[in-house]
Amino acid sequence: MSLAVQLAGLRLKNPLIAASGTFGYGVEYEGILDLSRLGGIVSKGLYLEPRDGCAVPRIVETPSGLLNAIGLQGVGIRAFVRDVLPRLDGYDTAVIVNVCGDTVEEYAEVARIAEAPGVDALEINISCPNVKKGGMAFGGDPRMTHEVVAAVRKATRLPVIPKLSPNVADVTVFARVCEEAGADALSCINTLLGLAVDVERRMPRLAFGTGGLSGPAIRPVAVRMAWQAARAVRIPVIGIGGIASAEDALEFLIAGCRAVQIGTANFVDPGVYSRILAGLEDYLRRHGRESINDVVGSLRFPDAEETGGGGC
């Protein structure tokens, strides 16, 4: 049995990738788990300069989820390349840099600096709901999405993977725009915009106000949007949203994703990767499949007549 997948010109030993913002820069998990077990790691979001992020409180638990407004705190791309990247060099896993910017020009410059030995691909963060500049402004406008992705594509030879926002009317529009602009793959989806209220104070529970909702609560929405994106484009889609088990990961893979990212589960169970890998191998064994790629895009819908039309 093989868990290896091909993604945007990269060969990953398995389809499990640590999601941006929930795994630090990877080095924070040294000694907790073997980073070489992962198919890939996506760094925290990186701007040209260091960034403090939002005021506290930044994180609030919600039923089956987590609401956060970190604000893309980070060390900046130059410090990452100089201090962090050499520490990841000894691990057999793909390193993907999450690229951020307040302007199109900043996205391109961060991408240019990120094209350093040891970096395998760039994830373009055009969809963070917790920043006042960039973020949703770029990911919520098809024209601006095209402009950012095209600028990054010109600035680097590395695979370019835009991260799509769920806070749009039709994710397929943005998926197609990214493909037209030269994207090599898509990450789908970022967090859903949410609001938690302290009823005693009658104020938001996050200092920023609104935040990004992640965790199991968003998984059905994420699977649906990833499925739509995968059907709309020819480039690979990476599924993200509430994955905490092999069954969760398989939902995305069966819906058409080539790989998945694990985010919020990192905070509760660093051993989640070993559990999911064992579960994927068991699934292939039980279903008589030799490769995880045999599962990708295998979703079948029953006839409408058999289901009564699937009414509301």
Q: Which residues does the annotation mark as catalytic?
A: 128
What phi and psi values does residue 37 have, to the nearest 5 degrees?
-75, -20
CA 90 to chain centroid: 23
In eight-state DSSP terms, residue 291 is B
193 closest CA partner among 22, 62, 97: 62
Per DSSP, the residues of 93-154 read SEEEEEE--SSHHHHHHHHHHH--TT--EEEEE---TT-SSSTHHHHT-HHHHHHHHHHHHH
Asked if 42 and 19 touch (Cβ cutoff 8 Å), the reply is yes
123 closest CA partner among 163, 88, 89: 163
- Helices 219-232 and 171-180: crossing angle in degrees, nearest 10, is 40
What phi and psi values does residue 215 have, to the nearest 5 degrees?
100, 180
Tell me how far apart the alpha carbons of residues 19 and 11 are, in angstroms, rounded to a whole number.
18
| Residue tagged 């793909």 (tokens) | 94
Tell me how far apart the alpha carbons of residues 158 and 152 are, in angstroms, rounded to a whole number.
10
196, with CB counted inside 10 A (0-12, 13-18, 19+), is middle
Asked if 45 and 20 touch (Cβ cutoff 8 Å), the reply is yes
